[in-house]
Each structure stands twice: as structure tokens, then as C-alpha cells.
Amino acid sequence: MSQTDIEHIKQVYAEADLLFTPAEIEAAITTMAQAITQDMRDANPVVFSVMNGGLVIAGQLLTKLDFPLEASYLHATRYRNSTSGHGLEWKVAPMIDFKDRPVLIIDDILDEGHTLVEIVEHCKAEGAASVKTAVLVNKLHDRKARPDLQADFVGLEVIDRYIFGFGMDYHGYWRNADGIYAVKGM
């Protein structure tokens, strides 16, 4: 990326609207962890974080899940560092055997939901006993892949704008932003 582009990346951050503070996100993750623990503490699940976006939420959520589980990752991408989605590309399929075991998928955002639908279908087809989903944010709009599509565990509901931070990227940048921001004008 050229110096000009980096200036654009810095400008996007400087002009963005803060939607959720680090403290609000921390509280939401704690509440999610309590709900997941209540539901899965005796389930012996395999927990997959969806790379790249799930990196930050999974890191924080996992440390609050105080029961036996196996943690791993999978890598599927639909946006490929752009701001609009295309067909899902599998980069790394799940590597832990989860046949006949409950699976929990952790991701940063449920936007249109094509990503989670495909991942859930894949895990079911590969023999998971059940598949649940946990997302840090659910974006509110009527463009879901299925009208009734919901994650089992949701941290925060977010307005229909392009957002970044806490794992979510703007053209590959600002996954490291400590807060959830909306891009100006998007």
C-alpha cells in the first residue's frame, strides 16, 4: 500500500464515528460468555474462530469460557479486504475432528450472513452433533441470506453502516482498533 493510501487509512480512522467503546464491548463479551457457559458448560464442544475477523473477539471470549472445550480456527472469507461481499472462499477448513460433537463458531460480525450459513452447513455436513454461532455484532437490515437468520449468541446490535475495529477491517486495516467505529459516509 502506498503512502497516499496509508494517509487515507489514517483519515478514515480520524473521521469515523465511535459506535461502541471498549468498556461497552467488554461488557457485551462478558454477557455473551455467561450465556454460552450456561448453555454449553457440559457439552464438551469444539470451538472454531473464523479468521481473520474472529481473531479479537475469540481471543477475549475464550478466556471467559470457564469449562472444558477444544479451541481451533477455520479461515473463510467473502469480502477479501474489500467493503462488499462475494462468494465464500475457504482458505483453511476445520482441522479438529468434530464428528458427533457440538460445535460453536465464533465470528466478529453477522452481516448478510452468507459466511455463517455456509460454515454452519459445512460443519453439519461433516457430522457435527450440533452447530451454534456466536457473533460480537449483528448488523440490523433486511438483507440477511435468510429472513429468519440469527446467531445463537449476539454481543451487540449495530446499525446498517460499514464498521471496523475489534477484528473488523476497513480494506484490511484497523482490525486492531479498540472500539467499534462506522466509516464516515458509509
Ligand X SMILES: O=P(O)(O)OC[C@H]1O[C@H](OP(=O)(O)OP(=O)(O)O)[C@H](O)[C@@H]1O
Q: Which residues of this protein are in contact with ligand X, per CB under 6 A?
A: 50, 52-53, 77-79, 85, 107-115, 169
162 binds ligand HPA (CB under 6 A): yes
Strand-pair partners of 89 = 77
CB of 108 to ligand X, least distance (A): 5
Question: Which is nearer to ligand X, 12 or 109 (by Cβ)?
Answer: 109
Query: Strand locations in the chain, DSSP E?
Result: 17-20, 46-51, 70-77, 89-92, 102-110, 130-139, 153-158, 163-164, 180-182
Applying the rule CB under 6 A, the residues between 29 and 58 that interact with ligand HPA are none
Distance between CA atoms of 54 and 145, rounded to whole angstroms?
Answer: 20
Q: What is d(CA 2, CA 74) in angstroms, rounded to the nearest whole number?
A: 30
Smallest gap from Cβ 37 to ligand HPA, in A, equals 27
**Per the structure block, which three cell numbers stand in for 40?**
454449553
Residue from 111, 142, 148, 169 carrying the catalytic annotation: 111
Q: Cite the DSSP H helix spans in the chain.
A: 3-15, 22-40, 54-62, 114-125
Asked if 20 interacts with ligand HPA (CB under 6 A), we say no
- Convert residues 59-88 into a mask of x (bound to ligand HPA by CB under 6 A) and - (unbound): --------------------x---------
Residues from 101 through 140 that contact ligand HPA (CB under 6 A): 109, 111
Measured CA to CA, the distance from residue 164 to residue 146 in angstroms comes to 24
CA angle 153, 70, 41 (to 5 degrees): 50
Closest to ligand HPA by CB, 98 or 164: 164
Q: By CB under 6 A, is residue 154 in contact with ligand HPA? A: no
Cα separation, 45 vs 65, whole angstroms? 11
- Part of the chain binding ligand HPA (CB under 6 A), chosen from 20-28, 37-45, 58-66, 156-164: 156-164
How far is Cα 57 from Cα 134, in angstroms, rounded to an integer?
10
Please say if 100 is a catalytic residue.
no
* Sole binder of ligand HPA in the list 20, 73, 153, 164 (CB under 6 A): 164
**Residues annotated as catalytic (active site), given as ranges:** 111
Residues within the interface to ligand HPA (CB under 6 A): 79, 109, 111, 162-164, 168-169
